[in-house]
């Protein structure tokens, strides 16, 4: 067995010892749900409300048709600098 595996075994038996486990925090759920109710709207995607989407007619659809060659991202990306070179390698 490699030395690190020995270290790993030691770590495991320590971490799963009776005394270590009895010290581990128990999850507390109280209040969490109440807090979450407040953020229901953020990022929430109503699964299907097709019945209520009839908000457009005629030729109004062209907003998605801009030619790709005309497309330039125009949001907050000018505040995000770097990233134009190759990224740092993982580790």
By CB under 8 A, the residues from 9 to 68 that bind other proteins are 9, 11-16, 18, 20-27, 29, 32-33, 35-38, 40-41, 43-61, 63-66, 68
Both tokens of residue 38?
A: 């407040």
> How many residues form the binding site for other proteins (CB under 8 A)?
73
Both tokens of residue 64?
A: 């998605």
Q: How far is the CB of 34 from other proteins (least distance, A)?
A: 9
Both tokens of residue 55?
A: 């908000």
Name, in order, each residue with C-beta under 8 angstroms of 20's C-beta and a sequence gap of 6 or more: 14
Q: How far is the CB of 24 from other proteins (least distance, A)?
A: 4
State the Cα torsion 46-47-50-55 to the nearest 10°: 30
Q: How far is the CB of 65 from other proteins (least distance, A)?
A: 7
Q: How far is the CB of 37 from other proteins (least distance, A)?
A: 6
CA distance 50 to 10: 57
């Amino acid at each position: 067995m490699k030395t690190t595996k020995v270290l790993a075994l030691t770590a495991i038996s320590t971490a799963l010892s009776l005394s270590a486990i009895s010290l581990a925090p128990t999850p507390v759920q109280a209040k969490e749900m109440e807090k979450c109710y407040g953020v229901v709207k953020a990022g929430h995607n109503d699964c299907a409300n097709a019945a209520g989407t009839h908000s457009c007619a005629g030729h109004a659809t062209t907003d998605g048709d801009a030619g790709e060659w005309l497309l330039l991202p125009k949001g907050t990306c000018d505040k995000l600098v770097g990233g134009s070179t190759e990224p740092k390698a993982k580790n």
